[in-house]
Chain A
Amino acid sequence: MSICELKNITKIYSVGEQIIPVKNISFEINSGDFISIQGDSGTGKSTLLMIIGGLLKPSSGSIIYQGKDITNYKEDNLAEHRGKNIGFLFQNVQLCEALTIEQNIILAKKYSGNNEISQEDIQFVMNELGILDKRNFLPHQLSGGQKRRAMIATTWIRNPSLILADEPTNDLDHHWATKVFSLFCDWVSKGKAIVFVTHNDDWSNYATKKFHLNNGALTKI
């Protein structure tokens, strides 16, 4: 089942000269897809993830999400779409700094369109990611790896159909990186789709579809 389809997506930045990090890309993300995108730094991998997730509008082309063309959605509709369907794992971890880890998880859940917050689910997610004992900590009180796991927890609890992860193993030691990828595999087996960006071949080997982005063009490996 198609989750998201990109049709002839191009993104042009005009900063004195024209930069085209994404050039006429078309590809489809289906339920159960585990997709890796590799490429050199600055080739537009993050830009592509943001376009897929509706954080950035393409200069041309269209995005069809679960049968709906969201290309020209207004910002508020896009926000609602992101809240309900997309889970972002950014390259640099970001959470709401004034809230504890548990409160961050609850906040993320609230904006997913599902207000039913189960304390058991929250505890389970935090326990699985080894941050249950940090539930009342503020983000700045955690290590980089703990913060990243907290961010993964906020995504997990929202149960999005598409997860876009930009270098998801940054800050994680091998144990937790492996754990996170095994979680990803589990999510994919339950029908979600994951697109992740990595420079590491070990992690890209988990992917069922591998792409390489170079000069704005996406090629299947």
Chain B
Amino acid sequence: MWKLAFYNIIRRKNKSIFTIFISTIVTALFVIFISILSIAQSGIKLSIDRMGADVILIPNDTEISNQEILFTGIAQMKYFSASEIYGKLPQNDIQKITHQFFLKTLPELGCCTTGEELRIVGIDTQTDFILQPWLKQNHNDPITEDTAIVGSNMSREFGSKTFFLNHLFKISGVLYSTGTGMDESIFIDISKAREMGKKSFDPKTFLNRNVDDLVTSYLIKLKPGINAENFINSISNLTLPIRAVSIDQTRTQIKEKIKHISTILFYILGAFVLICGVALVAQFNGLTSSRRREIGYLRSIGFKEKDVIQMVMSEVILLGVTGGLLGGVIGASLVPSFISKLQAIVIIPEGEWTLLPAIIFIICGILFSLLISIVAALAPAIKSARQKPHEAITEGAL
């Protein structure tokens, strides 16, 4: 029966190609849809699983949103004075605290190996509790003056050398994917970052303040039982030139946004599935009705109703699997480009996109294509199997 189905497909090329084309399009969209959702969800999950801080303090003149701070690598050079802020924080609520100093690369001045503007994050290796959980095993040489750790999206190999702000760094560590802005950041020693800041930028950039006293953010882990919202309120009441960002709340906001985007994408996908489903029903209807006499002949040589259904469905399965495979592969290969296009419009936490999830989604795509093909073909298959053999063979001319 599979052989017969195969011959039916290859010897009716045009019709088969059009059917496969429809399945391919709808499957590709489906794979892109579920992949984007999965990447966003895994991005959020990653950040929940491993993000060590509960609250981030940033200068209140920072021009980017809380979500951008957490989930993008947008380079910002805004600072506040550590000596002015640190002492006023409610220390009793804080379990751990570390500070970071941000710089951005100056690609237009040919400062760096890379041609794009990147975020350099100076970290205090003594107090840092953010980076450690993300370091890949065996890639955990300590940060020194001349070494840097890079985020997972930075395309730098462990042990390679690279220029940032006219300084040669050896990559001493590569982070696991975090689903946050850390994936697009370069981490170096905070003293080195400040030194490079002084050398590479005009003092006006730092408002002529003492660079060694400046920080871009405090990352705070609260003691167990301390409510982040209450902590943020207490910071706000101090009327300091800082903004307190709750990581949990930011995540919730992102989740809400993703939910809205998912709904929109779901409706778009639903519309496509409906249109393609109708097109497939028409295709399969045509496929069976154009073979009415042939099916009548097959009935005359002993084909039972179930044999006719099996013959049609075997063909549908082969078409569905082919369309699903093509659509799955095309969809999966388009996912990175779709994600980056979507990220230009809205912040999407980016989880890992490797071969394994791609293969899983391609398989899901094949199953999806199979499902809609079978659903679309079931009625035409049953109808053709149940037509009276004499009517089929004579096309109603008796």
A interface residues, Cβ below 8 angstroms from B: 13, 46-47, 50, 53, 55-56, 75-76, 79-80, 82-84, 86, 88, 90, 92, 94-99, 103, 107-108, 111-113, 138, 154, 158
Contacts and interface: CB of A to CB of B under 8 A. Distances in A.
B300 interface: yes
Contacts of A82: 299-302
Contacts of B389: 55-56
Interface of B: 4, 7-8, 11-12, 291, 293-294, 296-307, 388-390, 393-394, 398
B393 A112 contact: no
Contact of A94 (B8, B294, B303, B307): B294
22 contacts: A55-B300, A56-B388, A56-B390, A76-B306, A79-B302, A82-B302, A83-B301, A83-B302, A83-B303, A88-B300, A88-B301, A92-B293, A94-B294, A94-B393, A96-B294, A98-B4, A98-B7, A98-B8, A99-B4, A111-B302, A112-B302, A138-B11
B14 to A, nearest CB: 14
B24 to A, nearest CB: 22
Contacts of B12: 98
Contacts of A138: 11
A53 B305 contact: no
A154 B301 contact: yes
Nearest to A151: B297
A76 B303 CA distance: 8
A79 B4 contact: no
B301 A50 contact: no
Given A47-B398, A75-B305, A94-B296, 6 more contacts: A50-B398, A56-B389, A80-B302, A90-B297, A96-B294, A98-B4
Given A50-B390, A98-B12, A107-B4, A79 B294 contact: no
A73 B93 CA distance: 85
B72 to A, nearest CB: 56
Given A90-B393, A111-B302, A103 B398 contact: no
Contacts of A108: 301
A103 B11 CA distance: 14
Contacts of A84: 302
A75 B305 CA distance: 8
A57 to B, nearest CB: 9
A53 B394 CA distance: 14
B297 A55 contact: no
A39 to B, nearest CB: 15
B355 to A, nearest CB: 38
Nearest to B385: A75
B293 A94 contact: yes
B11 A55 contact: no
A79 B299 contact: yes
Given A56-B388, A90-B393, A96-B294, A111 B303 contact: yes
B393 A79 contact: no
Contacts of A111: 301-303
A141 B394 CA distance: 22
A112 B302 CA distance: 7
Given A46-B398, A55-B393, A96 B305 contact: no
Contact of B304 (A76, A107, A158): A76
B294 A55 contact: no
A48 to B, nearest CB: 11
B3 to A, nearest CB: 8
Contact of B7 (A86, A92, A103): A103
A113 B394 CA distance: 25
A55 B299 CA distance: 8
A98 B298 CA distance: 12
Nearest to B395: A92
B300 A158 contact: no
Nearest to A83: B302
A158 B307 CA distance: 18
